[in-house]
Structures are given as C-alpha cells and as structure tokens.
C-alpha cells in the first residue's frame, strides 16, 4: 500500500497517518517529523531547516528531497508507505513521481483531508495550549494556512487529474475520519485495500 496524505495544518494527517500505517503494516513517513529531527541534529542544514519551520515557511524542495528520499526508497522496498506531508508542492510531486517510477512503484491513492480554517486554527491553538510545537502560535498558524492554500492546494487538481484523489471531511471525530478514508479507498477498488 502506497498512500499520500494531503492536508492543511491541523487536519489530523499525523493521527490518520499513524492509524493507516498500523492497519496496512507499512511505514508512516511524516515529512515534518523527519525535518524536525534533522533540525534538532543541528549542523548547517539543521539550522537552515529550523529557521524555515519556525517561520511556517516550506523548507526548499531540494533539502526536502535530500532528507525524504532515503526513507521513501527504504519503505518502498519493504512493501509501501503512508506519506504524510510529502510531496507538498508540485515540483516535489514531480520529483517524487520520477523517484517512484525509477523504483517501479506508484502511489495507489492520495487522501485529501479538508476542514474550514476556523476549525484548523482552533485545533492548532488547542495543541499549543497543551505544550504543542513552536510553530503553533497564532501568526505562524495563519501563515502556514496561507502557504498551504497557495503552494500545496495545486496538488488537489494535480492528483484529481490522475484519478487517485479521495476527498475526506476532516471536521469529524478521528474514528469517523478513519472510516471515511477506508470507505473512500475501497471505492477506488485498490487490490491492497480489500480485507482491511
Ligand atoms: P503542519 O502540516 O501542521 O504544518 P508538518 O509537521 O507536516 O505540520 O510540517 C511542519 C513544517 O515542516 C512546515 O511548516 C514546513 O516548514 C516543514 N515541512 C514539512 N513537510 C514539508 C515539505 N514536504 N516541504 C517543505 N517543507 C515541509
């Protein structure tokens, strides 16, 4: 199973990614987590990544590909992955498709989780009040939502054209979102999604 979770900040792609990965028995590859780990490790690259993340700007495509490619290659060899937050720009999607073609694999489906900005903002501020991430502050949240709309939004038509987009309402309890994802995947009648 090879899936991509496409979702604005606060839509719950981390939660759903973990669930789907456990259910499908494949690795959950969370771009933000891998980039944060690289930032914590320090060095020139780490400091650069940390600065982009703190501002809520996207890390440049070239750095993202450098950090993410080894994880994708390894997981592809082990039966698949749930990609969470990568690809997140059209150039990243093109690079990821080229990589997948080289590895002889392609994405089975892209799950697009959507919710109104007011809901997303409230969730992120709630997370912040429970000791959340450094980028969960009001002005950075607004910026991340804008960046999503402008830079990641174009991936919705991109994957729709490829016939693999499943759209799911994320403004529901996590279990309902998971159920809708499962239903959407069986609607695509993927060979791997039966029996789950
Ligand atoms: P969220 O979706 O809530 O913003 P993530 O952990 O997915 O949380 O991403 C946090 C930050 O990590 C982003 O604001 C961005 O700086 C960086 N990031 C994550 N994925 C990517 C990506 N594919 N391309 C560029 N930057 C990314």
Q: Ligand 1 in contact with 158 (CB < 6 A)?
A: no
The HSE-up count of residue 162 (CA atoms within 13 Å, CB side) is: 16
The closest residue, in CA terms, to atom 2 on ligand 1 is 9
Higher pLDDT, 132 or 196: 132
Look at residue 18 and tell me whether its pLDDT is greater than 90.
yes
| CA pair distance 49, 42, nearest whole angstrom | 9
* pLDDT value for 194: 43
- What local confidence, expressed as pLDDT, does residue 30 receive? 98
Provide the mean pLDDT of the chain.
94
Whole-model pTM?
0.92
Residue-level pLDDT at 188: 79
Name the band, by pLDDT with cuts 50, 70 and 90, for residue 196: very low
Distance 195 CA to ligand 1 centre (A): 33
Mean pLDDT of 114-139: 93
State if residue 17 touches ligand 1 by the CB under 6 angstroms criterion: no
32 lines ligand 1 (CB under 6 A): yes
C-alpha span between 140 and 35 (Å, rounded): 17
Strand partners, 84: 5, 30
Instruction: Tell me the mean pLDDT in the region 23-33.
Output: 96
Q: Which residues are catalytic?
A: 13, 88, 127, 133, 144
């Amino acid at each position: 199973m090879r899936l991509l979770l496409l979702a604005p900040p606060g839509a719950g792609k981390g939660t759903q990614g973990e669930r789907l990965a456990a259910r499908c028995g494949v690795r959950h590859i969370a771009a933000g987590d891998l980039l944060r780990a690289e930032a914590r490790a320090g060095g020139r690259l780490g400091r650069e990544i940390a600065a982009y993340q703190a501002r809520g700007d996207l890390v440049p495509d070239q750095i993202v590909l450098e950090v993410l490619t080894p994880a994708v290659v390894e997981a592809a060899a082990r039966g698949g992955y749930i990609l969470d937050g990568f690809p997140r720009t059209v150039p990243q999607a093109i690079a990821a498709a080229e990589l997948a073609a080289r590895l002889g694999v392609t994405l089975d489906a892209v799950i697009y989780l959507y919710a109104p900005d007011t809901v997303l903002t409230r969730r992120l501020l709630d997370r912040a009040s429970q000791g959340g991430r450094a980028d969960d502050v009001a002005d950075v949240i607004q910026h991340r939502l804008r960046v999503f709309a402008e830079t990641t939004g174009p991936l919705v038509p991109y994957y729709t054209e490829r016939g693999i987009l499943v759209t799911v309402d994320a403004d529901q309890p996590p279990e309902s979102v998971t159920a809708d994802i499962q239903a959407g995947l069986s609607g695509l009648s993927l060979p791997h999604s039966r029996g789950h």
